[in-house]
């Protein structure tokens, strides 16, 4: 009997199916958006379940409402590794290149290529020498996203709880 896919695997499959059809700009914007969503889920899995935790990461003027702020917070709390933080930072910078230019921008553009080539090679070793910058980006996104999707479940095990502090003045 075939087991149903875990929700994360279903979402990963759905994302990669759409991601592969995208232009360079679309792929970059979608990748950043899905990573942003999963960073939020990781933080939500860690924070106390209260309004303050929700307000930190979503809503108008949320202090951790940006992709950059979510990545920095997740890193500061030890929820993502140094390597993952570096990769997210590179992806964010690549996203910004696409987001702030409307002409002549793709993975062959000098700034984008330099940033993307700093991402680790996550594909088969035999393809590394002949791969394009877009392929490097695609493999890096697939592996990083997979890690972050499962991280949300792992982080939930260490979810913060409101601590009751002893108060001598009320005894």
* Domain annotation for the chain: domains and CATH numbers: 7-170 (1.20.120.330)
What's the pLDDT score for residue 59?
Answer: 86
What's the pLDDT score for residue 57?
Answer: 95
What's the pLDDT score for residue 1?
Answer: 61
What's the pLDDT score for residue 4?
Answer: 62
Measured distance CA(23)–CA(149) in Å, rounded: 24
What's the pLDDT score for residue 70?
Answer: 98
| Dihedral (CA of 20, 21, 25, 27) sign | negative
Measured distance CA(68)–CA(85) in Å, rounded: 10
Low-confidence ranges of the chain (pLDDT < 70): 1-5, 170-171
| pTM of this structure | 0.90
What's the pLDDT score for residue 96?
Answer: 96
What's the pLDDT score for residue 2?
Answer: 61
Mean pLDDT of the chain, nearest integer: 92
Contacts of 51 (CB under 8 A, 6+ apart): none
pLDDT digits (tens, 9 = 90+) for 119-143: 999 999 999 999 999 999 999 999 9
What's the pLDDT score for residue 170?
Answer: 65
% of the chain surpassing 90 pLDDT? 81
Q: Where are the alpha helices (DSSP H) in the chain?
A: 7-19, 24-46, 51-57, 67-76, 82-99, 110-116, 133-156
CA of residue 14 relative to chain centroid, distance: 16
Is 95 exposed, middle or buried (CB count within 10 Å of its CB: 0-12, 13-18, 19+)? buried
Q: Is the CB of residue 87 less than 8 Å from the CB of residue 145?
A: no
Angle (nearest 5°) at CA 138 between 99 and 154:
100
């Amino acid at each position: 009997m075939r087991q149903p896919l875990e929700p994360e695997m279903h979402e990963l499959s759905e994302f990669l199916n759409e991601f592969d059809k995208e232009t360079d700009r679309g792929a970059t914007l979608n990748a950043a958006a899905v990573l942003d969503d999963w960073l939020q889920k990781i933080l939500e899995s860690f924070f106390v379940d209260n309004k303050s935790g929700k307000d930190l990461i979503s809503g108008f003027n949320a202090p951790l409402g940006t992709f950059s702020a979510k990545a920095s917070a997740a890193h500061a709390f030890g929820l993502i590794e140094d390597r993952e933080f570096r990769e997210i930072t590179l992806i964010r910078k690549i996203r910004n290149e696409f987001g702030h230019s409307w002409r002549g921008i793709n993975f062959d553009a000098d700034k984008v290529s330099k940033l993307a080539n700093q991402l680790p090679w996550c594909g088969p070793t035999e393809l590394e020498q002949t791969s394009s910058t877009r392929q490097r980006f695609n493999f890096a996104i697939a592996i990083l996203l997979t890690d972050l999707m499962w991280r949300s479940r792992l982080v939930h095990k260490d979810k913060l709880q409101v601590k009751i502090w002893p108060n001598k003045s009320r005894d």
